[in-house]
Each structure stands twice: as structure tokens, then as C-alpha cells.
Amino acid sequence: DIQMTQSPSALSASVGDRVTITCRASQSISSYLAWYQQKPGKAPKLLIYKASSLESGVPSRFSGSGSGTEFTLTISSLQPDDFATYYCQQYNSYPLTFGGGTKVEIK
């Protein structure tokens, strides 16, 4: 199985801050990586796919980069609606696996 490791597991930030979350795969997954945002009591929402492609309707302040084993999700200017937990997921091979999540909290 491909292990996905996210860091940090939690962070505190202020509105307007630039936030970066890292996801590392235990082996190369090419660009088969997705990022999701999840708010309490809700289903995850797809933000980014193929490592850097923005899902339709997602604000442009979200961006993704990386390939192989190292990936990042960047929020260029954190907004109040962005406080949530973020997950990466690889879909290069079965079993599909998720990172442990990064909780973004208000500073």
C-alpha cells in the first residue's frame, strides 16, 4: 500500500495568511493526487486533482503543486471560509489511500 503522510497535522493561521500543507507519498504516484477540504459534519469537497488542476468552482486562492512523492497545497490568502481539515489522496494505485489530514484553525 502507498502511505500518504501529511504535515503539519494542525496549524493556526490568521485571515490573509499564506498557508502551505505538504503531502508525501511512500513511493512515486506521478501526479495522481487529489486534495479535499472537509468541514465538521460535512462530506469532503474536491479542491485539486492531478496534483495541480483546480476543480470547477473552487476559488483560485487554492493551488496545488508537486509530482512523484512530494506535493503541496497552498492557500494564497486564507479566508474565514477556509478554516477546515484538508486531506490528500493518491489514486495512482489500489488501495486508494488518504493522508491523515491537516486541521487549519483560527489564530
Residue in 57, 44, 50, 58 with CA at minimum distance from that of residue 101: 44
Q: How far apart are CA 62 and CA 57, in angstroms?
A: 11
Which range of residues in 12-20, 21-29, 68-76, 93-101 is near other proteins by CB under 8 A? 93-101
Which range of residues in 12-20, 21-29, 67-75, 96-104 is near other proteins by CB under 8 A? 96-104
Q: How far apart are CA 64 and CA 93, in angstroms?
A: 20
Binding pattern to other proteins, positions 32-71, x when CB under 8 A?
x-x-x-----xxxxx--xx--x-x----------------
Q: How far is the CB of 55 from other proteins (least distance, A)?
A: 7
Cis omega (within 30 of 0) on the bond before 95?
A: yes
Q: How far is the CB of 27 from other proteins (least distance, A)?
A: 16
Q: Which is nearer to other proteins, 42 or 80 (CB)?
A: 42
Angle at CA of residue 68, ends 8 and 62, nearest 5°: 50
For 80, phi and psi rounded to 5 degrees?
-55, -30
Chain contacts with other proteins (rule: CB under 8 A): 1, 32, 34, 36, 42-46, 49-50, 53, 55, 87, 89, 91, 94-101
